[in-house]
Each structure stands twice: as C-alpha cells, then as structure tokens.
Structure 1
Amino acid sequence: MRRLIQSCFSNPHELVGRRIMKRACEMKKEFAMFYVSLEQEQRDDIEENMKLMLKKVVTNIDFVDEIQRLAEEFGQRFVALRPLGFRPDLFPVIADATIKECTHLDSAVHKAHTTTHAFSQFGALVFASVREGFYTEVRRLRRASASFSTGSNGSARRKLIESSFINENGSIKSRGNSPRQPHSRCQSRSASPDSSGSDELCPNTPTVGGAPATYLKPPTNAMVATRSY
C-alpha cells in the first residue's frame, strides 16, 4: 500500500490541492458556500498547504508519528477559518475529495479497487490527525482565553480591595471610614522630670506657674506636716 501511494505521487501532482478543493465544493453545497466566501488569497493558501501536507506525509509514509504531526499542523490552520463559516464536520468532505483525487494520480496503473482501498486507509489515518489538530488548537485557545480572563479579574479584585482600605491621599482608612491620624510623638512621649525641652517638642503643652503642667508640683507645707511621724 505504501509503495503504491508513493508511486502515485511520483506522477505530476502540483495541482492536487486545487483539484481536491474543487471536488469538495462539487460534493457538498455547504462546503461550496464556505469556500466561495473566502478571499482568493485564502483559497490559494488552503490549496497550497493541502498539496504540501500530502507531499510531506507521503515522503514520511513509513513514520506514523511524523504523519500525525504534519496532519495535525494542517488541521490547526482551519481554526482561524471558523469565523468565516468553517465547521469541523466539513473535514469528511475534504477527506473524501482527497481520496478521489489521489486515486486519479495512479493513472490506472493498478486496479481501481486496489488504489481506492490504499488511499481510503491513507486518508482515514491522515484526516483523523487533521481533526485532532483542529480540536487541540481550539482547546489551547480556550485555555489561553480563560487564563487571561482569570488574571484580569484577579487584578480588578486587588484594586477593589486596595481602594476600600486606602484613601485617595494615601492614608489608611479606619473602620469608621475616616482617615487614621498619624501617630504623634507628643502622645507617646512619657512625662518625665528629665525630659528637658518637652515644651519645645510639644509647644501646646499647658503650663502651671511657668512650668509644664506635666511636671510634678512641689509639696506644700500642709502636705509635709501631715506626713510627719
């Protein structure tokens, strides 16, 4: 089977991509509607990539892993065509058209049923991987979109939390929704007789008899008399 397929592709096949797409349009009206809606450049790109994929796959026909990789890469290209009307259920149409056009490459060298059977198995292997590549790319894009959405929501939540605790001027909000006042050295500084210059640090400290009210008053004579033994 492999040698038969390779012998078919040894014949001229430069237009095989265009012929496959033309036959697919003839086989399925829905495919034709999708295909004619594309720009000429897009159609040329699909036909060229189809031809190149088949040539590479036939060249590596003894290496199944490489066949699958090449076919998956081809299938991934169709994800970008979804907004233009492509659906994965159109892949069987392309597969059937591929089998028919590749069979014609034999030029009746082998029996018709032998050639058809060979390319049917070949087409089933290739287009199973084409579909897998398509769905793999769809899943990858969905995960990337979900990850981006989650990251954006997380940033928005962080900003909301920050705004609920921090005022526009940068001060921290208290539970009563009023800015927390900065801590004053005057409030935390303990009153001590050795605290010289405290009136300079806290100019609003009240005084008694010219001395800061925070200092201890000297004992009066009455107080001394009451403490005598």
Structure 2
Amino acid sequence: MPINDSQIILPNNTRKASVAHPYVMPPLTRLRIQQSFRNAKPIIGRKILKRASTLRNELKIFVNNLNNETTNKLEENIFRLVVNCVANVDFPSKVASNSFAFGEFFAQFCIFGFRPDFFSTIADAMVAECVRQDGGAQKR
C-alpha cells in the first residue's frame, strides 16, 4: 500500500506539508548522506547482514541455515534498501514504500525462523555500517 507524503507524521505530531517543508532534513545533512554513498558497493549488504548476525545469535542461526543463493538475495535486498532510501531521502513516501517492500520480502522467511524483531538488529547494523562507510569523513 503506497504512502503519500501527507500521511507522514513528523516527530512533533504535525503532518508533513510538502510545500511548507520541502525537505525532511537540512540540505547539508542530506548532502553528507548522499556523498557518503556515492561509491557504495553491493558488498555493504553482506557487511550489514554479517554485523547483524554478530549482534544477535538467533539471527546468526537463521542466516546460517539458509543456502548461499538465499543469503545473497537477503544481502542484495539490504543493499537496495539502503541505496533507495539514500536516493530518495527527500521523499518520505518513497522511503516508506521501499521499507514496506523490504519487510514484505522478508515475510517469506518466517517459516525458516525469521522474526520481525530481527529488523531492529538489522537497522542497528545498517547504522553502524553506514557510519563505517562514511569513514568519519564528515565533521559534526
């Protein structure tokens, strides 16, 4: 189900007005994020999944029980989610749609032991790997 920008609720409980607030984040922050991922390689999906597996033993068991082809698909989907979110950072509805599709993709793995609470571990690993991708090149 697609989400439009008028359905996005901002932290202060106000609805996003596309005209009044054209950007979700300051332009400098957006630029830093986009520049950090200009040269991102698909291997970041593997690194994120590997880091997530080290953070949570149940996730490690789940990943270890998958065949290589399926693991590669998971890594590819993680990479695509990060790249699509960075590319659409100014469009919350597109980020939400990409995230929803990402969740739908993982739903098929519930019969193999995937649990929805693994998403928080994957998100933590994404943040850690994204900071690592940046290499601390951006000053605060």
Q: TM-score range by the shorter chain?
A: 0.7 to 0.9
What fraction of aligned residue pairs are identical, expressed as a percent? Answer: 35
**What stretches of structure 2 of length at least 5 have no aligned partner?**
1-28
Determine the C-alpha separation between the residues in 2 that align with 1:50 and 1:42: 13
Aligned to 2:49: 21
Determine the C-alpha separation between the residues in 1 that align with 2:42 and 2:119: 22
The match for 2:133 among 105, 121, 124 is: 105
CA contact (8 A) 1:9 1:105 kept: yes
Question: Does structure 1 residue 50 correspond to structure 2 residue 78?
Answer: yes
CA contact (8 A) 1:8 1:106 kept: yes
Aligned to 1:66: 94
Cα shift at 1:52: 1.2
Aligned to 2:117: 89
Cα shift at 1:27: 0.8
Determine the C-alpha separation between the residues in 2 that align with 1:11 and 1:41: 25
**What stretches of structure 1 of length at least 5 have no aligned partner?**
115-229
The match for 2:107 among 76, 79, 83 is: 79
Secondary structure in structure 2 of the residue aligned to 1:12:
coil
User: TM-score scaled by structure 1?
Assistant: 0.47
Secondary structure in structure 2 of the residue aligned to 1:95:
helix
Secondary structure in structure 1 of the residue aligned to 2:118:
helix
Alignment RMSD, CA only? 1.1
Determine the C-alpha separation between the residues in 2 that align with 1:20 and 1:50: 8
The number of residue pairs the alignment matches comes to 112
Q: Superposition pairs for residues 1-229 of structure 1, below 5 Å?
A: 1-111=29-139, 114=140
Determine the C-alpha separation between the residues in 2 that align with 1:14 and 1:84: 24
C-alpha deviations, 1:79-124, integer Å up to 9, x for none? 110000011111111000000001111122113xx4xxxxxxxxxx
Secondary structure in structure 2 of the residue aligned to 1:94:
helix
Cα shift at 1:13: 2.7
Determine the C-alpha separation between the residues in 1 that align with 2:95 and 2:120: 18
Secondary structure in structure 2 of the residue aligned to 1:110:
coil
Deviating above 3 A after TM superposition, structure 1's stretches of 4 or more consecutive aligned residues are: none
The code of the aligned residue for 1:54 comes to V
